[in-house]
Amino acid sequence: LERFRVIAHKPDISFIQLLPEHGVLTLADVRDAIQAVGPTPRERPYTIVNFVASVDGRATISGRSAPLSDEGDRALFHTLRESVDAVMAGTQTLQVERYGRLIKDPDARRRRVERGLGAEPIAAVVSRSGLVPYEIPLFSEPEARIVEFTGASAPRPVSAQRELVLLDPDEVTLPRVMQQLRAEFGVRTLLCEGGPTLFGSLVAEDLVDELFLTLTPQLVGGEGNPAIVSGAPLPEPVELRLRWILERDGSLFLRFGFRR
Ligand SMILES: NC(=O)c1ccc[n+]([C@@H]2O[C@H](COP(=O)([O-])OP(=O)(O)OC[C@H]3O[C@@H](n4cnc5c(N)ncnc54)[C@H](OP(=O)(O)O)[C@@H]3O)[C@@H](O)[C@H]2O)c1
């Protein structure tokens, strides 16, 4: 089973909550928690980042996240997707993980509509170079709703529903993308699914509100396996505030808020 491609997970999965108090947390509780986030900034979407990592903080094993993931992580990954207006992933992640339609489970689409969300979250694609992996299933999926910010002058046609925001390459900045997603595309909640390069840039620009981090009980090592944040060093360490710790099958599910 792949982290990004699973269609339906067991709907009755639950986690042991260790903090802030001892108890049991279900996927429905996670959906409610995301529904209740806020206050939503007016100038950009409320932004949640999700990663899975080994205990030594590596985001891949041989270039893929799937071997790090387990059933609880996959369930949380898809529950977060189900709970937001839009999903953003870096172009490398789109390519490596071969993104397709974001919500494949009809029950999840129905629950979204019942909560007042669109049946399908917007897929936000951002590229300064225009090197976008158009060959992945996402771009030929008629149900997909894509907003693509690109520095390319003539992006390739696609059969998915796509709104293009054509910019000069140096105008494709994350603050601008976030501002436009909020103001022009009505995105109040955004889930960023990585990768480490995009996450590093979002953090450097102070555009992240929360991090959901699954820690699986593995040590990975290897210089080729990046940490969850990569790219240019951050100007200074970023302080996080622990909001909950869940456990399932030996994996820990940490939820952090960004202090500001
Ligand atoms: N463990 C996990 O949870 C997890 C999650 C996601 C991905 N991954 C793994 O991470 C790897 C891919 O991550 P990655 O770090 O190589 O790439 P990435 O973050 O997925 O994508 C980076 C690309 O995003 C585009 N981008 C647009 N604006 C950007 C900006 N302001 N700053 C940075 N990037 C921007 C860039 O394309 P332009 O140069 O065209 O602008 C850049 O090349 C894969 O191996 C994947 O499996 C793991």
Is the beta carbon of 52 within 6 A of some atom in ligand 1?
Answer: yes
At 12 the pLDDT is 80
Is the beta carbon of 193 within 6 A of some atom in ligand 1?
Answer: yes
3-class SS of residue 181: helix
Q: Which atom of ligand 1 is nearest to the CA of 198?
A: 19
Is the beta carbon of 63 within 6 A of some atom in ligand 1?
Answer: yes
Is the beta carbon of 129 within 6 A of some atom in ligand 1?
Answer: yes
At 60 the pLDDT is 98
Q: Which of 122, 130, 232 is nearest to 171 (CA)?
A: 130
In this prediction, residues 152-166 reach a mean pLDDT of 96
pLDDT band at 187 (very low <50, low <70, confident <90, very high): very high
Check pLDDT > 80 for residue 260.
Answer: no
Structure tokens at 150: 């690109």
Average pLDDT, the chain: 95
In this prediction, residues 231-258 reach a mean pLDDT of 96
**pTM attached to this predicted model:** 0.97
Q: Which atom of ligand 1 is nearest to the CA of 128?
A: 41
Check pLDDT > 80 for residue 9.
Answer: no
Condensed to tens digits (0 to 9), the pLDDT of residues 194-241 reads 999 999 999 999 999 999 999 999 999 999 999 999 999 999 999 999
In this prediction, residues 89-111 reach a mean pLDDT of 97
Is the beta carbon of 93 within 6 A of some atom in ligand 1?
Answer: yes
pLDDT band at 6 (very low <50, low <70, confident <90, very high): low
3-class SS of residue 162: strand
Q: Look at 259 and 119; give whichever has higher pLDDT.
A: 119
Is the beta carbon of 59 within 6 A of some atom in ligand 1?
Answer: yes
Q: Which of 86, 80, 210, 81 is nearest to 148 (CA)?
A: 86
Check pLDDT > 60 for residue 7.
Answer: no
In this prediction, residues 78-95 reach a mean pLDDT of 98
In this prediction, residues 96-104 reach a mean pLDDT of 97
Check pLDDT > 70 for residue 146.
Answer: yes
Q: Which of 216, 170, 193 is nearest to 50 (CA)?
A: 193
Condensed to tens digits (0 to 9), the pLDDT of residues 23-80 reads 999 999 999 999 999 888 999 999 999 999 999 999 999 999 999 999 999 999 999 9
CB 228 within 8 A of CB 57: yes
* Distance between Cα 197 and ligand 1 center (Å): 5
